[in-house]
Each structure stands twice: as structure tokens, then as C-alpha cells.
Structure 1
Amino acid sequence: MNGRAGRIRIIGGSLRNSRLDVPDLPGLRPTPERVRETLFNWLAPTIAGVQALDLCAGTGALGIEALSRGAAGVQFVERDAAAARALRENLARLKAPGGAVAATDAASYLHGAPRTFGLVFMDPPFALELWAPLARQLEQGGWLTPSAQIYVESPRNTLPALPANWQAWREGAAGDVRFALYRRAGDLPLS
């Protein structure tokens, strides 16, 4: 979107071809359609009925795509008030059940009482380099099911430091972005 207001399309499921209004916000970087298509092809066998967490949600395209494809619920976390408002409006307009929006930053949200999620979308603003601290909070805070899947977006040449029990399952690149799906292999051993 390059900082311009616009619309993006949901590409599959019950909300297929629905458009999301995207506010004009600096640094907002919606996940491109072809990346979402690849990701949701990977997730197809496991998306139905999952509880998902969309950290640093931005437009909410990843979480709304998950709802469209059968996720039981998605908790969206977005620190920017305008983006959170646009996300709530998009969810209401699309009549997408199962979506809830928390207007707070991801680290603060993860300091709260944990709920377990089987799928997490972690696509923080690249300049803030939040991958390692958010991953640590997710892993140590009781937010993940034993076999959770975690989607991570980062700059193409950056391999974030993630917990040792998050095993890379699939990955790809598009433009300047690296995207990867990790599978959690139980709890980290206590040190």
C-alpha cells in the first residue's frame, strides 16, 4: 500500500473477494495476496476450528482470512487506534463472527492473563525488531497450544531469534519480505 489508503481483498473462504478498507497510516504493510495465498494453502489442513492470535494485526488481513477459512475465533491485537478502529469496522461490515480486537501493543497484551492459541500470526513493524521478545512472551507465558503453528514475517535477510522448540516447517520470500510457518514442538526445557 506504500502509506496510501486503499483496499485489499480476502482471497478465500466464506468471505472470498470481500474488500478490507485500509487506512492511510505510516508503516502499515499489509501482507500481499500471493503470500497470504501460499500461507493459507499451507494451513488448509489445520485451520478449521482453530483459535488464532493476530499480533500487530495492522489491517487484520491475516486474521480475517483465517476467519473466512474456518477458524473458530481470532483475537486481533493492534496498538494504533486508527488501525484498530478500521479493523473493528471491517469485521462489523463483513459480519465476521469470532473476531475480537484489543487496542493495545502486543507486549502489553501478552502481559495479561493467557489464553491458548493454536495459530499465531506474528508480523510486527520491522523497525521495532520485536520478534524475539514477543516469541519469548508467547512461549513462556502459556499462550500456545503444545502443537501451535506460528507464522512469522520479517525482512528478507533477517532470521529472527526464536525459541528452539519452534521448528521451521515452510518458508518463502516475496520482494523484501521473508515469511515462514513454524510448528511448536512441546515446551522448552527448563534451564
Structure 2
Amino acid sequence: MPKKPASKAAKPAKVPVHGPQHSNQVRIIGGAWKRTPLPVLSAQGLRPTPDRVRETVFNWINHQRDANWADAQVLDLFAGSGALGFEAASRGAQSVTMIDTNVPVVRQLDEIKTKLKADNVQITRGDALAVAQSAAARGQKFDLIFLDPPYQLEFLERCLPLCTRLMKQGGLIYAESGAALEFAEDETPEWMAPWEVLRADKAGMVFFHLLRLKAA
């Protein structure tokens, strides 16, 4: 009898390879939308605050505010993924104004707002410095301002002087940067002089701080 041709070995099925989930999303840490994932676009300069850093930061803020968010008016000048602004909204902030200049980013923030039915969130496309100047000219004041700008572009140096006119009494600023904002007394730059650092820490190459205006 003729030999049957040897059967070919079955090829192993190809398994799709996916990157880790945390590489393209973050999650809300606490409040009404706790554990809700927020997608992160691959946009230039978009660098969302990691979950564990936000957890630390919001613990700091809760301590300063006695965990009272009901009357908090919040400004997020470099909204990006929205992780900071939506976190504040989730915890019950009265209003959260989120600003970003990137069109796809703003579109995604709008989609998240709609999904969450976040009526306490307002989203605007615009330049952070121009928005801050306009708000200061109108006499707007905030209890909490998030400053998480692209590094090495001197945004903090330009934003912090404007923020002195935007703060309510006892208001707080959360600021991320590529360098520490704590200086020796005789080396403090002019833009940092009005501010005191309440808390500060470092995660990897990121320095994060909670600031308040010094008492007059």
C-alpha cells in the first residue's frame, strides 16, 4: 500500500499581544465614580498623573479641607486625560473647569463628561495662560488649582504669578514639575516667592507639590 503523506504539524494559534492596561488608561480613585477607567490618548506631552500619586495628593487635599468638597471650585489648567479634574468632580466638587488646547483631548474629555453625566464639570479648549489671565481679569477665584503642564516649557514659572490673583483665601495649588520647587531662602526665584510648599514628594522623575499662598 502506498504510504499516506505525513500530516503537517498544526501551527500554534497566534495569541494577540496587548500592552498592559495601565499604559493607556488611569482610574478614578475615590468618590461617586470610584474605579471608573479613564482612557489616555497618545498625544504629545500627555502624561497623566499616576493613580498612586493622585491617591497621595488627594489625601493631602482632604487633610487640608477636612474632606469637604461640597463648595469647592476647581480649575484644571492643563487637563490632559482629565484624571485630576474628574477625580475632584467625583468627590463632589461644586464646579470643575477643565482647560486643554488639544482638540482630540478636549473631544475625549467631553465624551467622558457625557458618559459620567458630570454636570459639575465644564470643559473648554483654550490656552492655559490666556484662560488664567482672562479669569483673573474677571475676578474669578478658586479653592483648588491643578497645574500639571508639559515640563521644560516654563509653564509653572508663568502660571504661578497669575494664580496669586485666582486663589480664594486658603486656596491650594497642586503642581507637578520635573524639578523640586523647594529652594534655599536666599535662592527662591521671584515666581515662587509668594508660595509655601505644604507637602512635596517624588515619584520616579516627577516632583509633585501642594502649595498655598504665604500669609500676608
Per the normalisation by structure 2, the TM-score is: 0.78
Find the aligned partners of 1:152 and 1:101 in 2 and give their Cα distance: 20
Q: If you compute each CA radius of gyration, which structure gives the higher value, 1 or 2? A: 2
Partner of 1:101: 123
Partner of 2:143: 118
Partner of 1:41: 59
Please provide the CA RMSD for this pair. Answer: 2.0
Partner of 1:64: 86
Map of 1:29-178 to 2, 5 A cutoff?
A: 29-45=47-63, 46=65, 47-48=68-69, 49-112=71-134, 113-139=138-164, 142-155=165-178, 157-159=179-181, 161=189, 162-178=191-207
1:11 to 29, 44, 50: 29
Partner of 1:181: 210
Find the aligned partners of 1:137 and 1:71 in 2 and give their Cα distance: 23
SS class of match (1:89): helix
Find the aligned partners of 2:153 and 2:141 in 1 and give their Cα distance: 25
SS class of match (1:44): helix
* Larger strand share, 1 or 2: 1
Percent identity over the alignment?
Answer: 37
Greater shift in the superposed pair: 28-37 or 159-168: 159-168
Q: Deviations over 1:46-71 (max 9, x none)?
A: 25121010011111110110111121
Aligned length: 182
**Structure 1: segments with no counterpart, 5+ residues:** none
Q: Deviations over 1:94-140 (max 9, x none)?
A: 1122100110011111221341001000111103121011111121x
Greater shift in the superposed pair: 30-39 or 120-129: 120-129
